């Protein structure tokens, strides 16, 4: 229900308590729809509309304003939709390249940074733009860091929306290590499962990284 336009079918709910139920359900649906509606800057980021991003930022739109069910910033939304031009426009407009997906005070804080996201998607151009803008490749959340994501371990951690199982991104890995040669893989259950499913070339990459 990402469009924010869903409404329940109120078949047979008429009169008395059933009528009240229909009103309450309709009100709940409208409220949910409003919560799902994304700010214009986020919409522009997801669409890669650089011109709109520039206009909205000049008009005072919050460059790091969080929105959506994941609490992502516009930068993270742009990464999710693989929009490198939007990523660069947001970074030029002051977006925080190290912002996590939820604020530290949130009970649902995940600490997943834009760099971790881009590395996990294998987006080399975006990874390079983030590193140039000051993204810290050494930031970690539990076992997760950007190197971990580039090795393909995010496929198990986010099986519905991550990279294909068994994949990896050697060029992204090299870009991260060039920036931070001391980066190391963090091992765990997701890494173990991913290694079993990895392609031969990805197993070789993981073995190389574990030997560092």
Where in the sequence is the domain holding 72, given as residue range(s)?
38-96
The span from the CA of 199 to the CA of 10, in Å, is 50
Same domain, 56 and 31: no
Asked whether residue 68 is domain-assigned, the answer is yes
Q: What is the pTM of this model?
A: 0.78
Same domain, 133 and 173: yes
DSSP-assigned letter for residue 145: E
Same domain, 124 and 211: yes
Residue 7 belongs to what H/E stretch? Answer: none
Q: From first to last of its 212 residues, what are the pLDDT tens digits of the chain?
A: 343 333 333 233 333 443 444 334 444 444 444 445 899 999 999 999 999 999 999 999 999 999 988 889 999 999 999 999 999 999 999 999 999 866 665 554 568 899 999 999 999 999 999 999 999 999 888 778 999 999 988 766 665 566 777 889 999 999 999 999 999 988 888 788 888 989 999 999 999 999 99
Same domain, 132 and 178: yes
Same domain, 57 and 31: no
Asked whether residue 181 is domain-assigned, the answer is yes
Asked whether residue 9 is domain-assigned, the answer is yes
Contact (Cβ atoms closer than 8 angstroms) between residue 155 and residue 167: yes
For residue 127, the SS3 value is helix
Asked whether residue 103 is domain-assigned, the answer is no
Asked whether residue 140 is domain-assigned, the answer is yes
Asked whether residue 169 is domain-assigned, the answer is yes
Rg, C-alpha atoms of the chain: 20
Same domain, 147 and 159: yes
> Which CATH number do you get for residue 61?
1.25.40.20
The span from the CA of 211 to the CA of 182, in Å, is 12
Same domain, 116 and 203: yes
Asked whether residue 118 is domain-assigned, the answer is yes
* pLDDT at residue 104, as a whole number: 60
In the chain, how many domains are there?
3
* pLDDT at residue 200, as a whole number: 93
Same domain, 166 and 211: yes
Asked whether residue 47 is domain-assigned, the answer is yes
Same domain, 122 and 186: yes
* pLDDT at residue 197, as a whole number: 87
* pLDDT at residue 70, as a whole number: 84
* pLDDT at residue 110, as a whole number: 62
Same domain, 116 and 210: yes
Q: Comparing C-alpha atoms, which of 197, 194, 196 is closest to residue 186?
A: 194
* pLDDT at residue 148, as a whole number: 92
Same domain, 9 and 61: no
Residue 83, CA distances (Å) to 2, 31, 57, 76, 151 in order: 19, 30, 17, 10, 22
* Cross-strand pairs, 20: none
Answer with the one of 72, 96, 120 that is the final residue of a domain: 96
Same domain, 54 and 30: no
Detail the DSSP E strand segments found in the chain.
140-141, 144-145
């Amino acid at each position: 229900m990402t469009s924010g336009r869903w409404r329940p079918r109120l078949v047979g709910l008429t009169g008395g308590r059933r009528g009240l139920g229909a009103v309450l359900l309709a009100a709940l649906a409208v409220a949910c729809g409003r919560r799902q509606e994304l700010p214009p800057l986020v919409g522009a980021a997801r669409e890669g509309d650089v011109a709109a991003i520039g206009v909205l930022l000049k008009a005072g739109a919050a460059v790091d304003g969080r929105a959506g069910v994941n609490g992502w910033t516009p930068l993270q939304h742009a990464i999710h939709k693989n929009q490198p031009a939007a990523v660069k426009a947001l970074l030029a407009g002051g977006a925080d390249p190290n912002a996590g997906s939820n604020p530290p005070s949130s009970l649902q804080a995940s600490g997943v940074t834009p760099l971790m996201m881009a590395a996990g998607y294998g987006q080399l151009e975006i990874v390079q733009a983030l590193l140039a803008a000051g993204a810290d490749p050494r930031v970690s959340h539990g076992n997760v860091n950007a190197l971990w994501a580039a090795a393909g371990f995010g496929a198990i951690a986010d099986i519905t929306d991550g990279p294909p199982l068994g994949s990896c991104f050697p060029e992204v890995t090299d870009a991260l290590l060039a920036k931070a040669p001391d980066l190391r893989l963090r091992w765990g259950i997701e890494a173990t499962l991913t290694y079993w499913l990895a392609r031969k070339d990805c197993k070789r990459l993981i073995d190389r990284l574990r030997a560092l």
